[in-house]
A and B are shown apart, each in its own frame.
Chain A
C-alpha cells in the first residue's frame, strides 16, 4: 500500500509565483509511505498530543514529524525537481538495551548527467537538481517497488517495546524535551542529511575502492564521488581525488588528519569555538606554551580564565604499577602539596589518580595520555573529588615535565622556579578544525568504532548535526553560526 503526502496546491502556487518573480526557490520534498494498513504511519493507536505535535494517533504523530523535518530541509535546499523520500516503519535489530533506530541513503546514484562534473558519482536528489530533470522518471520498476525514489528510509517500529530498548520509544514532540526517549526529530534530520548527499557515497572506505562506471564492482579505477573533491589528508598532503585506493583506505582511519576544503564550509568555519588550551607560564626560555586539553566528568567544572597553579611531577611507578594508582609516597606528597600534579594515564581509573593526588594535598591534576593521539576526555565518577582535573596528549605531557625541570633554576635557593598552569583559549585554533581552520572529518583509528569519513569529527564545538553521535543539544538550524551542514551540501552543488 502506497500513500503519497503532498503539499497543498496553494503551496505550489506560491512557489510558482516566487519563481516567476525571480526569487530563490526552495525545494519540494514528498514523503511516500510504504506502510501497510494499521502499521507505522497508519498505526491507529490513540495518543495524546505531545511537544507541539498535534497528532492524535501514533501514525499521525510519526508522519507529522516526518513532514516537520522535511519542511526544514525544504527551506534549506533549492531544487526545481521534487525530492521523493520513501519511508517505512519496520522491525529492526533490537535488544533490551540497544536498537537500530533507522537508516537512510540516497537510493540512486548517477554520473555523467548534464550539469554535473563528468565521471563523478552524485546522489540522485542532487543530480536531479543540477540537471534540472528527474533522471529516474519513466524508468520501469526494478522489482523493488520504489526504485525511482531519491532517498529510502526506514525506522524501528518496535522501539521502546519490551525487548527493544525497553521503555525508551521515539519522542515525537518537536520541542526537544525527549526525556528518556529518543529524539526522533534530530535523528531523522541527521539521516535525511545523509540521504541528500552528506556521505562519501560510492567509496568503500574499508578498501578505498570506488564503484565502477558501470556500477558493477568496487574497483581501483572506479569513479570518484563528488564528496571526494573536498577531502584533503594533511598527513599524505593529498586530496582523495589524487589518491590510490590504499591511500584512501589509510586516510579514512587517520585521526584528526582529514580536512574538508570546500569554500562554503571554510567561509563558515569561524563558527567553531576557539580551542581551549592549558597555558603554561615559566621564566625559563622556551618553557612557556599552550596545549589543548580535555576535561573530566568528575570534579568541579573548569573554564577558560581559570588559574590552576604551579605544576609538579611525581616519581615514575614501579614496573607493572600505574602512576598515581596508590596512595602517594611521602616524597610525592611533598612534591604535589599545593600544586598541580602531572600523572600519566594507565593501569587504574582517572578518578582514582585524581583522588590520590587530592589526598596528598594537590590542588589540581593533569592526566598525560599514555598513547599517541589527542588529549582524552576523562570519564569516571567520584563525588568526593573537589580539585579540577584536565588531560593533555602524551607529547604535551613530556613538554610539561620539561617545562617544570627547566623552570627550577629560575628561582631562588629557598624557592625554586616553577611552571604555572592556567586555562585559556586559543583563537587561532578551532575545535574540530585543522591548523588552517579547515573542519575535520571523523576518521577514527581502527580501535575506535565509528562511522568514518561521512561525518564531522567529534572534536567539533559547538556540536554539529552531522557528527556521528546525535548530541542532545542540537537544533534545527543548518547554517553558521549554529551548524555547517548546509555549507557542506552547498559545496557539493546544492
Chain B
C-alpha cells in the first residue's frame, strides 16, 4: 500500500500544471473550494497501479493513507490529482514533448437566450466555458446589450 501511495504521490508531484489550473479556479471561486467536502476531494485522487502501471481511482486504503498525511500535504495531493497532468515524452532526436489535459482543451458551449435563439461560443478552458453557461453571458455578436 505504501508503495502505491508513493507512486500516487510521484504522479501528483509531476502534475503541477493541473494543480495550477485548479488553484487558479480556486482563487476565482474561493467559496466553492473552501467548502468542498474532503470526501469529494479524495474521490478525485488518481494513482498509478504498481502492478499494471495504469492510472486508476485510489482505493479505500489509499484514501485512508492519504488522510493520514498532514493537511497541507493532503490538499496538495488532492489538488494535483484533479486531472491527469502533462506527461513528459522524449524523442530519440532530442525533441521534448508533453501530453496535456482535458482542462486545457478549448470548449464550445451553447446557451439559449431569452428570445429563444441559440448563442454558441468557444472558450479556451473548461472553467471559462462553465462560467459562461452559468452567467448566461453575452459574448456573441448575436447577443447585444440593450441599454
- Asked if A105 meets B99 with Cβ closer than 8 Å, knowing A199-B124, A454-B124, the reply is no
Secondary structure at the A interface, as helix, strand, loop or mixed, is loop
Asked whether B120 is an interface residue with its Cβ less than 8 Å from the other chain, the reply is yes
Contacts of B124 in A (CB 8 A): 199-200, 205, 451-454
State the CA gap A347–B146 with chains docked (Å): 11
Contacts of B95 in A (CB 8 A): 110-114, 127, 131, 135
Asked whether A349 is an interface residue with its Cβ less than 8 Å from the other chain, the reply is yes
Whether the pair B96, A103 counts as a contact (CB closer than 8 A) is no
Asked whether B70 is an interface residue with its Cβ less than 8 Å from the other chain, the reply is no
Secondary structure at the B interface, as helix, strand, loop or mixed, is mixed
- Asked if A345 meets B122 with Cβ closer than 8 Å, knowing A105-B105, A106-B100, A449-B131, the reply is no
Asked whether B61 is an interface residue with its Cβ less than 8 Å from the other chain, the reply is no
B66 to chain A, nearest CB (A): 19
State the CA gap A200–B107 with chains docked (Å): 14
Contacts of B132 in A (CB 8 A): 449
Contact with B118, one of A124, A182, A467 (Cβ below 8 angstroms): A182
Asked whether A388 is an interface residue with its Cβ less than 8 Å from the other chain, the reply is no
Cross-chain pair count, CB within 8 angstroms: 226
Whether the pair B128, A449 counts as a contact (CB closer than 8 A) is yes
Asked whether A26 is an interface residue with its Cβ less than 8 Å from the other chain, the reply is no
A223 to chain B, nearest CB (A): 9
* Chain A interface extent, by class: 35 or more
Whether the pair B139, A165 counts as a contact (CB closer than 8 A) is no
Whether the pair B130, A211 counts as a contact (CB closer than 8 A) is no
Contacts of A455 in B (CB 8 A): 122
Contacts of A408 in B (CB 8 A): none
A110 to chain B, nearest CB (A): 4
- Asked if A102 meets B96 with Cβ closer than 8 Å, knowing A147-B87, A217-B20, A349-B147, the reply is no
Whether the pair B110, A99 counts as a contact (CB closer than 8 A) is yes
Whether the pair B102, A451 counts as a contact (CB closer than 8 A) is no
State the CA gap A166–B87 with chains docked (Å): 38
Contacts of A452 in B (CB 8 A): 124
Asked whether A126 is an interface residue with its Cβ less than 8 Å from the other chain, the reply is no
Q: Which of A66-74, A187-195, A283-291, A481-489 contacts B (4 or more CB under 8 A)?
A: A187-195
Contacts of B97 in A (CB 8 A): 108-111, 124, 127, 135-136, 215
Contact with A104, one of B55, B106, B140, B147 (Cβ below 8 angstroms): B106
One digit per residue, 1 when the CB lies within 8 angstroms of any chain B CB and 0 when it does not, for chain A 139-167 equals 10011100100001010000000000100
Q: Taking CB as reference atom, which chain B residue is nearest A452?
A: B124
Contact with A111, one of B17, B96, B118 (Cβ below 8 angstroms): B96
15 intermolecular pairs with C-beta atoms under 8 Å apart: A97-B136, A101-B120, A105-B102, A109-B97, A109-B100, A131-B93, A165-B112, A215-B97, A378-B145, A379-B143, A449-B135, A449-B137, A451-B106, A452-B124, A455-B122
